[in-house]
Amino acid sequence: MASNEMTTLDLCVSGRSTTTPEGAVHLDIRGADLPALDGIDEPRLEQIARLLRGLAFCAVDGAKSGHPGGSSSKAEMVAALLASGVFAFDPLRPKHPGRDRLVWSAGHCSPLFHALVSLVYECQRRAGVEIPASALPAVEYPEDLARFRRLGGPGGHVESHLALADASTGSSGHGFSIGLGLAAVQRSCALPCRVFVIAGDAESEEGMSYEARNLAATLGMENLVVTLDYNHFGIDGPITEVLPVPYVSHWRAFGWNVIEAGGHNCRELVHAYRAAAQGFGNGRPTVILCHTLKGIHYGRLEGTADSHGTPLTHPEFVGLMARLGFTVTTEEGHTPDDIAAVVSSLQPADADYLNARLAAARDLVPDEPELQRLMETALGPRPLADYTAIRRPAILPPELTFAPGTNVPTRKATEAWFEWMMRQTPFFYAGAGDLAKSILTGKAEQVYGLMSRDNPLGRGLRFGIAEQNMSMMCVAMAGETLPGGFKPMTAFASYGVFSVMMANAVRMGLINSDVNPAARAFFILLAAHDGPETGEDGPTHHGLFWMSLYSAYPGIKVYKPLDANEAVEMLFHAASRGEPIVFSVVRPGVPVFSRGGTTPAAIEAVNGAYVFRPYTNNGKRKLAIAVCGGQVLANLLEALPAFEGVADIKIIAVTSPELFEELRIRDPRKAASILSDNERHNLIAFHNGWHGFLYPFLLPADGLARCYGIDRFQRSGRPGEIYAAAGFHPKGIEEKIARHLRV
């Protein structure tokens, strides 16, 4: 340690710290007589912050949209973090598993984010550094900012395929839970990586952030650091319109260490980062409250809520850029020239300095074999395999088989499978929203114990009544990649009727998997106590309609097994695919159906539908019945004798309409043997929930060809570009209509 560097102990005994009743440290270093730090050239950092602002403002002016206010107020924060000497990052291996994670909870600050990434790689380019092909998808350059918020250009919110971002963000307040999830994975595998979250003060108004702050302190996530832009404003006005107590109390009261620093003072910021990295010896997460001015240097909007997302006029932009020392074009529409003007201000000494600090950051990244050894040593005898390497045993163990003719709640099947899977891999995490005793996740949780301060290697998670944090945290955990390429998986549970509260977190995770396939996540959202089986609880607990939301999301499927044996088979199938699922289970016992003869084995459930009972070919009128829900099927079988001699009835058991639609594409002959096109015109369907869930079985064979929609996540772009990309522009619509007229 350099002789002029103050330790956290030095800072704490300098008369500027207090210990909270919760045992955390509150340290205020604003205005302190802090020594200069080796390797930290403050004028150079200020110059880098100026360049970041210039690039960000150019991007916003070119797009005529974006978020300049928070981007400007965070410029010194991110520059100081990158140069601090405690942030591990290698620009040539930006997704190295040993890097520190960076979560932009303030995902709207993408002008600053893209400016930062592009400036890093501009400096590397000037030094003649050859970027490996493997890193190129994570790289941007300043000239790319000219297409900010346009199709194919830098996106309007942060996306994790790029360097210096480890989550795709944009929903305010979600980044606290994402950061907590990433920190939990690292700590539970005995890895040294830290997680830094870039956030804004208004985000803590979001309920999810409350849930995350609770759990982070309870679990002792000392590897989690939130650097918070404390500028006092949201979009609509000051945060005091919502938050009734002093802002620092929103962190002190949760048991976090708090460091207050000047958010535009590079010396204070670097001291704060180094203190947070050294820790306070109390096993608590740390927040750095960076006192800033919102929209600083952004003309007449400086210090106002309006700076959040309001671009200035071009003449105003020209004036503020001149005050920042940049000469841009007075004529609108020359963004590439404006960006070039900013880049021309990057002096060789500034580029050399940033490259030197990046080299220091690179040296902090441990070698992957070293990280694997740390992980293997900590995990001890646990089998070092993840879900991608685990296959369904040819002969299922007794605990995963259920006797025909018995009544077994399907939640007992998930209980058994979760416990079995927990013993096969150390990279499985499971928990429930204060419902473990009801949903039956407890046995899996106890295999390695609950994660806690005293048991950091636990795999069970207790979230409390906090479905939003639970889902966002678990979705983020499942998107990680650990040393050796190991992928975690998660299972998190609540009642099906409450699963809608988790939908936005799941949506954010699906988007992240879509824009960054390398971070594709496999997780199981357990929608328990589904359907009218919870009738005594009343409509507040009837999980009848939740699947209408998840069926619409790309990248996730709803599985609804009819009995316990089907549930086991479908869980193995989901793990083999590595695709997220929402898994429906019921509370009371439902019949475990007898298999054999004309009734196929339970593994046929993985096709999404199968013929449970074929036609008898008795010469009577044929009728096909599609059934979803074990109790419904049981009731139907009981009613069938009344139709003997009247009809020839075929029963189609439905476990996932989406899987069946895939089967129709992958193996149309097999799909037709289950449900032919002709049978669709003579079919009735039963489902103990939303009737639209079975619409795919009721539509005529060409129904999908007559239904048009945007079936993928789109990218950032102007409205006209998006319409054209999706085929919804005038020409695309004309072509579709013409095609049908020709049929």
Please report, for the chain, the start and end positions of each structural domain, with discontinuous segments joined by +.
8-366, 387-591, 607-701, 708-743
Architecture of domain 607-701: 3-Layer(aba) Sandwich (3.40)
What are the contacts of 96-99 at 24+ separation with CB within 8 A?
96/365, 96/368, 97/368, 97/371, 97/481, 97/482, 97/483, 98/191, 98/193, 98/365, 98/366, 98/367, 98/368, 98/371, 98/483, 99/193, 99/365
Ramachandran region, residue 175 (left: φ > 0; alpha: ψ -120 to 50; beta: rest): alpha
∠ CA(115), CA(119), CA(121), 5° rounding? 125
Phi, psi (deg, nearest 5) at residue 692: -65, -15
Q: Which amino acid is at 8?
A: T
∠ CA(518), CA(520), CA(525), 5° rounding? 165
In this structure, are residues 287 and 244 in contact, taking their beta carbons and an 8 Å threshold?
Answer: no
Strands 428-432 and 460-462: parallel
Model pTM score: 0.93
Strands 286-291 and 257-262: parallel
Assign 550 to helix, strand or coil: helix
Query: Do 387-591 and 607-701 have matching folds?
Result: yes
What's the confidence (pLDDT) of residue 732? 58
Q: Which amino acid is at 515?
A: V
What's the confidence (pLDDT) of residue 17? 83
What's the confidence (pLDDT) of residue 736? 54
Return d(Cα 459, Cα 740) in angstroms, integer: 54
Return d(Cα 263, Cα 627) in angstroms, integer: 60
Return d(Cα 503, Cα 537) in angstroms, integer: 23
Return d(Cα 130, Cα 116) in angstroms, integer: 19
What's the confidence (pLDDT) of residue 9? 60
What's the confidence (pLDDT) of residue 643? 85
Contacts of 476 (CB under 8 A, 6+ apart): 167, 177, 178, 179, 181, 182, 509, 521
Return d(Cα 307, Cα 235) in angstroms, integer: 8
What's the confidence (pLDDT) of residue 730? 54
What's the confidence (pLDDT) of residue 44? 97
What's the confidence (pLDDT) of residue 407? 95
Return d(Cα 686, Cα 69) in angstroms, integer: 54
Architecture of domain 8-366: 3-Layer(aba) Sandwich (3.40)
Return d(Cα 251, Cα 287) in angstroms, integer: 8
- 666, containing H or E segment: helix 657-666
Architecture of domain 387-591: 3-Layer(aba) Sandwich (3.40)
What's the confidence (pLDDT) of residue 705? 46
Q: What Cα–Cα distance (Å) separates residue 280 from each residue in 10, 29, 38, 291, 490?
A: 11, 15, 22, 22, 31
Mean pLDDT by 10 residues, the chain (743 residues): 60 75 91 94 98 98 96 98 98 98 97 98 97 97 97 96 97 95 98 98 94 96 97 93 91 95 98 96 96 97 94 97 97 96 97 98 98 97 96 97 96 98 98 95 97 97 96 98 98 95 96 96 96 78 86 96 98 98 94 94 98 93 88 87 86 96 96 92 84 78 45 71 61 54 45
- DSSP annotation of 233: B
Contacts of 127 (CB under 8 A, 6+ apart): 351, 352, 355
